[in-house]
Amino acid sequence: MALAAVGGAALGAVFGTLLDGVVAVTSKAIMFKSHLRDLKFTLDSFQQVDEDVGQHPNIVFRPMQGLERFRIQMEKGAQLVDKCSKVRPWKLNAFKKPMYTSKLVALNASLNTLLSVLTVHIISDLRARMINVETTLNHIDANIVAQYQNQYQNQIRGWCAIPEPPPFTVGLDVRVRELKMELLRDEASMLVVTGLGGCGKTTLAQMICKDQKVKEKFKDYIFFITVSKKSNCLVVQELCRKTGSLVPSFQEEAIAFNWLQEFLNIPEQDPILLVLDDVYPDSDSLLDKLDEVKRPNHNILVTSRVQFPRFGPAYPLGTLEQGDAMTLFRHSASWTDRSSHILDNLVEQIVQLCKGFPLAITTIGRSVCEQPTEIWEKRVAELSKGSSILDSEDYLLACLKSSLDALDERMPIIKECFIDLASFPEDRSIPAVALIDMWAELYGLDEDFWSIANIHELTNRNLANLVTRNGKMELDSYYNEHFVTQHDMLRNLAIHQTGQDIIGQRKRLIIDICDDNLPNWWKEHKNKPKKTRLLSISTDGSSSAKWHNMHLPKAEVLVLNFQTENYVLPKFVKRMSKLKVLIVTNYGVLQADLSNFNLLGSLPNLKRIRLERISIPSVSKNSMQLKSLQKISLFMCSVGQAFSNSSIQILEAFPNLVELNIDYCNDLVELPAKLCDLIRLKKLSITNCHKLSALPKEIGQLDNVEVLRLRSCVNLEGLPGSIKNLTRLDFLDISNCFSMKELPEDIGEMSGLRKINMGQCSRLKELPLSVLHLGKLREVICDDETKELWGEPFKPSLTNLHITVVKEDFNLNWLHNL
């Protein structure tokens, strides 16, 4: 029979035993008669398949894999049927009957699954041998389905139409053309359309399925399945139903995937377009299987809030252009032609406040549809004053929040990281290194790559964007030019999440202050934030920083964002005894003076300080000791006068400093010798300081330094000879040091050096012979020109050395929204 043909004689014999047993006891086992009758019907369906196969006696069918489980179940099934035949009604208690019944139901479901897989497998082999496909397919499937339709209402065959796209769409035509070109190629492809919920992914997929050229190519083989949170087994069942096959109850993914593989591998099949809509991260195993078994005529279109980068480049759907956004809003807000009654300036204001997000535009448009002008004006006023659209539009909130809910179980820390992004002002790029400092202390991510990996996770889920100066990811863990951006609607979502708890219970306290309008709870000293671990305060250019007192006994991170030329640290900082991270960012144009900096001397646990666009001379006037401080980062600060102040005892102020970062500090001409007193320093990064011309000769005293970055210090002409004493130095970065003419003669004494980045050092013409003594050197990053320096005699002698050539692309566009 058919089972013996594809599964071996043992499987065929067990099937025969089970069938004989069911036939023998159906009329006797009165307590289980209906279940045994259903089982008999399923077994008869196998015989019908066997009769159809018997019409082709000369065909040798391929063996099927994974049938051992079915053989064991049939053996147990035969034993179960025998037990049922011996049960007497007067001896059967209330507990045993349900047990026997459930086992019979499970056995029948397993056989239904095998029947469906077997049918597809046989059809595949018949087609492979040039048999009349349509006749065979219709004969086998139609006979079985006709019987099943009489017995099972949930097991039907039928075609479900592709969902119709909305009658009105904007901004998708270009994407439709791009994706259609990919789908019309005679190649296998998996295309992933990605974006936030409500940006038009499903509509785009529906438009593609309804395109005339797409329908001409794929004909009746377009299958549209909404995945969402369905299990892989349910998704395959849905595909079964839409192909007109039997709908088995798959108990295991392996069996479902077996059916899927058999279906997709039917030879000479017409091209297939399988659309998987709203795919969640948990369904990546389904995409893996589809990618594994796809054939040249298979095309898979995926829509998801996740990018799934391993399946190829994503096609992101972003916000609408201004013109399209206006068109969508007018349509949503006016069901009839009321253009003469719509005030253009109100429309434009609302569209701007929605930031081009389609679902927000549609939601607000519908909320003011057919409403008086005063309602429109009220809506604009509410949004302009900072009222979140998410507070009043439940559907929009639910749509966005579903992306976060998917993180709750699998990646709770990623969700926390997402909410932390709201600590920074809207429409501003967030320095990745600032997030590294925050997350190192909040979540114990003590290695920088953990934080960057979390940002990538957010990017893959379209909850943030990671951008770099030149659009390339770095090769040497240099993250100063990595920034995170985020749509304002997502920031609103994060703030909405923080507001779910009362003030006293919030882990984060995010305060945006316009003028001097403080929150009432703060002014009235109510709901003290006793559990807050992260405090963020953002002020505009007109705030006077008249702080009220606040007690934050558990705060570990303080983020202060401002725009004024003078800024005063809040006095309550002095009482934040558990504070570990301070991030102060001036978003104004010029460097700002910072007052009350001496308050930090009262913080016994402060480990990390990051200052941006701050005048360091104003800070250096205050003498203090920060014994726990381990890291200082200065970005676009004025540092020249502070470093030239001989009264500052750096070692006394920062006795345990292990990392110092100075970036884009353009008044730094010479690094002071007293920095070399920081004997515990392990990382020294001085980058993009274009006026720096020399390093102190005492730099060799920093014998614990493991990383020395001097990237893009374009006036730096050389390195002091004492650098040879840095025997623990693991990585030296002198990339883009255009003026550097030579390396120290004794550089070979840096016995721990493992990696050098020397790209774009165009005036460097030769290497010292002592380079041959760098026995631990494993990697050199360079450009085409400097690569030539590593020829004879160096490369042949340094046998473990790997040279990576990179091309530099200078682009400062990323600075526009810092």
CB–CB of 610/434 below 8 Å? yes
CATH of 411-490 among 1.10.10, 2.40.128, 3.40.1620, 3.30.160: 1.10.10
**Looking at 111-120, 360-369, 609-618, which range is the least confident one?**
111-120
Residue partners of 30: CB distance under 8 A and separation at least 6: 89
Q: Which two tokens stand for residue 783?
A: 């450009």
pLDDT higher than 90, residue 49: no
pLDDT higher than 60, residue 242: yes
**Preceding omega of 309 cis (within 30 degrees of 0):** no
Question: pLDDT grade, residue 648 (50/70/90)?
Answer: low
Tens digit of each residue's pLDDT (9 = 90 or more) over 84-131:
777 766 555 544 656 777 777 777 777 776 666 666 666 555 555 544
> Of 403, 205, 484, 199, which Cα lies nearest the Cα of 317?
199
Q: Which fold has domain 172-316?
A: Rossmann fold (3.40.50)
Distance from C-alpha of 70 to C-alpha of 68, rounded to nearest angstrom: 5
What's the pLDDT at 815?
47
Q: Which two tokens stand for residue 270?
A: 């017409």
Tens digit of each residue's pLDDT (9 = 90 or more) over 525-567:
666 777 899 999 998 877 666 777 888 889 999 999 998 888 9
> Of 248, 295, 238, which Cα lies nearest the Cα of 120?
248
Domain extent listing, the chain: 1-135, 172-316, 322-391, 411-490
Cα angle value 766/771/774 (rounded, 5°): 155
Which has the higher per-residue pLDDT, 808 or 483?
Answer: 483
Tens digit of each residue's pLDDT (9 = 90 or more) over 285-311:
888 888 887 777 788 999 998 888 888
Q: Which two tokens stand for residue 90?
A: 């007067």
Give how far Cα 82 sits from Cα of 21, 33, 94, Å.
7, 13, 20
Distance from C-alpha of 250 to C-alpha of 112, rounded to nearest angstrom: 9
Burial class (CB in 10 A: 0-12, 13-18, 19+), 510: buried
Q: Which fold has domain 322-391?
A: Helicase, Ruva Protein; domain 3 (1.10.8)
Distance from C-alpha of 529 to C-alpha of 527, rounded to nearest angstrom: 6
Place of tokens 């053989």: 71
Q: CA neighbours within 13 Å on the CB side: how many for 173? A: 6
| 3-state SS class at 727 | coil
CB–CB of 188/297 below 8 Å? yes
Question: Which 3-state string (H, E, C) describes 141-171?
Answer: HHHHHHHHHHHCCCCCCCCCCCCCCCCCCCC
Q: Which two tokens stand for residue 14?
A: 């067990």
pLDDT higher than 50, residue 817: no
